[in-house]
Amino acid sequence: MDDHSVLARGSTLLAAGRMNPLASIGATFLAFLAGTGRIVLFAALGLASCVTPPWHVRNIGRQIVDIGYYSLPVVGLTAIFTGMVLALQSYTGFSRFEAENAIAGIVVLSVTRELGPVLAGLMVAGRVGAAMAAEIGTMRVTEQIDALTTLQASPRRYLVAPRLIAATLTLPVLVLVADVIGVMGGYLVSIHKLGFNPSVYLASTIDILEPIDVISGLVKAAVFGFLVALTGCYHGWNSRRGAQGVGQATTLAVVSGSILILTFNYIVTEIFFSR
Amino acid sequence: MNQPMIRVRDLRKSFPARRVLDGVSFDVAQGEAFVIIGGSGSGKSVTLKCILGLIRPDAGEIMIDGTAIRPADPGDMARFGMLFQGGALFDSLAVWENVAFRQIHTGALSRTHARDSACETLGLVGLGEDVADLFPAELSGGMMKRVALARAISSRPDIVFLDEPTTGLDPIMADVINDLIVQVSRRLGITTISITHDMTSARKIADRIAMLHDGRLVWQGSAADIDRSGSAHVDQFINGRADGPISMSVLRP
């Protein structure tokens, strides 16, 4: 059954659903399945373009600068304040049990395993995913994507693959920077406000940190980078005509990108840390 | 006519809400300027995109030099140039990169040689080298159309498609663009298929004209014969009358 027939069937069921609530549930479920199928197919075709030549190295470089370099300030600010708040909140909570010594570990594990990748992913989804959807959506409605085809360029290779590759490679680097800045934020608050001994704090941080903590965060970052680029490109690619269509594509890119980040955060955590 | 360069037979295309093309057939000879006229929503753009392979028709046959075209196939695309209605220039690339996009992308020319080639093609459409380094956002409507025309002809294609080449231009600039289309296509020996609802443009650039209405060609013939077509649809359209066989679904006050 193709997209149109699934949607037509969904619409018929939806109309019937005014009388039958089960039909309404069925229509929503069919629409969900059709949407999932479309995005999985888009991802598969995008991946195929990523792993087979030719590659548009210039476009990949441009996207790396756009996604990585220009996201540094927002990711850095998010990381430093997260690390600072984490140290402060942990202290007020843990001092009740006289467990202040655990703060260094709490900060470094929380930042590297969870908060670094998730918050960087969400920030990049807001900044980059939205921009991708807006740019590709505008290219769709102004026929620039059709123009690429007529000029013998595959739009998937030219537009989608460089973004997928760049986001997947760049987000781990961004998260590595965010990890360092986040831990530094916790360090600054712990030393200058809470009166911890600097060398003891650093020693605790290093003692508790294991390679898997950082590696799991970087793997999450790569997955989140791919998801952000995928949702940005997908919604832009399928943007409807007009400013409203592009605006809606941008909103959908940020919302679906954020939801997928949170969903896959659990899945990757489960893969790495479930016993 | 011997074997036509472009042969379209019984082209049909429907979208979920409506039928757009309902059996369109025509031939275009090599070097001919063929213009399809018709009102908004008559199926002109869909016809063009079906021939280009951007839209897959439900039924029908499209042959170029006796060979069926394959949808969006780069080999077929190498023979085509396309001027889009809004220009469809790439915002992030300079004018010369837009014009030489195909040559750079396919590796036919190095970037240095591609720039020289782009400047030469810009000269064909009356634009100087000073325009080459501008970006599309810095161009006027007329310049944008000329750059888009330059991009369409830059690889010296066999066939150029023109989608509403004069839409959005003042009458003088529209005439300049029409002149350029005629000059460039004759000079390079290009076959053109244009779609327009601008009759001044159609009369100027066409060797033959066909009229599309409700997904069917209601008339086709020599451009010189359009005023004595004997078709009520054509007469109403070229004279811009509200009354006639073509009815617009407009609420009357």
Give yes or no for residue A165 having a pLDDT over 60.
Answer: yes
Nearest CA in chain A to B148: A147
In this complex, do B72 and A8 lie within 8 Å of one another by their Cβ atoms?
no
Strands B19-28 and B6-14: antiparallel
Q: What stretch of H or E contains A256?
A: helix A242-273
Give the closest of B77, B84, B91 to A152, CB-based: B77
- Which residues, 6+ apart, have CB-to-CB distance to B3 below 8 Å? B65, B66
pLDDT band at A22 (very low <50, low <70, confident <90, very high): confident
B8, β-bridge pairs: B26, B62
> CA geometry: angle at B237 spanning B14 and B163, to 5°?
55
Nearest alpha-carbon partner for A167 in A59, A38, A48, A36: A59
Task: Give the DSSP H or E segment for A166.
Answer: helix A161-192
How much is the pLDDT for A19?
Answer: 66
Nearest CA in chain B to A143: B88
The pLDDT tens digits of the residues spanning A214-227 come to 999 999 999 999 99
Query: Residue A6: which pLDDT band, with cuts at 50, 70 and 90?
Result: low
Distance from CA of A241 to the nearest CA of B (A): 14
Cβ pair B90:A146 closer than 8 A: no
> In chain B, what residues touch A147 (CB-CB under 8 Å)?
82, 84, 88-90
Q: Is residue B249 part of a domain?
A: no
> Measured between alpha carbons, how far is A37 from A44 in angstroms, rounded to an integer?
10
Average pLDDT, chain A: 92
Q: Looking at the complex, does the CB of residue B154 fall below 8 Å from at least one CB of chain A?
A: no
For chain A, which residues make up each domain, given as ranges? 1-39, 53-273
pLDDT of A3 > 70? The answer is no
Residue B78 is nearest to which of A146, A152, A158, comparing CB atoms?
A152
pLDDT at A1: 45
| Cβ-defined contact of A151 to B52 (cutoff 8 Å) | no
Spatial separation of the C-alpha atoms in residues A57 and A263, rounded to whole Å: 31
Report the Cα–Cα distance between both ends of chain A, in Å, rounded.
41
What angle (nearest 5°) sits at the alpha carbon of residue A116, between those of residues A103 and A232? Answer: 160
Return the residue in A58, A138, A150 with the most chain B beta carbons within 10 A, the one to mutate for interface testing: A150
d(CA B138, CA B145): 13
Distance from CA of A1 to the nearest CA of B (A): 15
- Among A4, A149, A154, beta carbon nearest to B16: A4
Chain A residues with CB inside 8 Å of B111's CB?
none
Which of A7, A142, A154 faces B86 most closely, judged by CB atoms?
A: A142
Chain B residues 96-115 with a CB less than 8 Å from chain A: 101-102, 105-106
How many Cβ atoms from other residues are within 10 Å of residue B250's Cβ? 7
Contact at CB, A151 and B89, closer than 8 angstroms: no
Write the residue in A8, A152, A154 that is nearest to B102 by C-beta.
A152
Amino acid identity, residue A17?
G
The pLDDT assigned to A156 comes to: 95
Asked if B77 lies within 8 A of A150 by C-beta distance, the reply is yes
Q: Residue B23 sits in a domain of what CATH number? A: 3.40.50.300
Q: Do A146 and B88 touch (CB under 8 A)?
A: yes
Cβ atoms of residues A132 and A232 within 8 Å: yes
Residue B72 covered by a domain: yes
ipTM over 0.85: yes
Q: Tens-digit pLDDT profile for chain B (253 aa)?
A: 567 999 999 999 999 888 999 999 999 999 999 999 998 888 899 999 999 988 999 999 999 998 998 877 878 889 999 999 999 999 999 999 999 999 999 989 999 999 999 999 999 988 999 999 999 999 998 899 999 999 999 999 999 999 999 988 888 889 989 999 999 899 999 999 999 989 999 999 999 999 999 899 999 999 999 999 889 999 999 988 888 888 766 555 5
Amino acid identity of residue A250, one-letter, is: T
Structurally, how many domains does chain B consist of?
1
Residue B168 with chain A: CB contacts under 8 Å: none
The domain of B211 spans: 6-90+158-239
Closest-approach residue (CA) in chain A for B153: A151
Tokens of B155: 């690889």
Smallest CA–CA separation between A40 and chain B, in Å? 22
Rounded to a whole number of angstroms, the distance from the CA of B137 to the nearest CA of chain A is 13
Q: What is the pLDDT of residues A91-143, one digit of tens each?
A: 988 888 888 889 999 999 999 999 999 999 999 999 999 999 999 999 999 99
pLDDT exceeds 80 at position A14: no
Question: Residue B168: its pLDDT value, please?
Answer: 84
**Secondary structure of chain B in HEC code, one letter for each residue:** CCCCCEEEEEEEEECCCCEEEEEEEEEECCCCEEEEECCCCCCHHHHHHHHHCCCCCCEEEEEECCEECCCCCHHHHCCEEEECCCCCCCCCCCHHHHHCHHHHHHCCCCHHHHHHHHHHHHHHCCCCHHHCCCCHHHCCHHHHHHHHHHHHHCCCCCEEEEECCCCCCCHHHHHHHHHHHHHHHHHHCCEEEEEECCHHHHHHHCCEEEEEECCEEEEEEEHHHHHHCCCHHHHHHHHCCCCCCCCCCCCCC
Whole-number Å distance between alpha carbons of B214 and B41: 8
Closest chain A C-alpha to B15 CA, distance in angstroms: 9
- Say how far apart CA B148 and CA A41 lie, in whole Å: 33
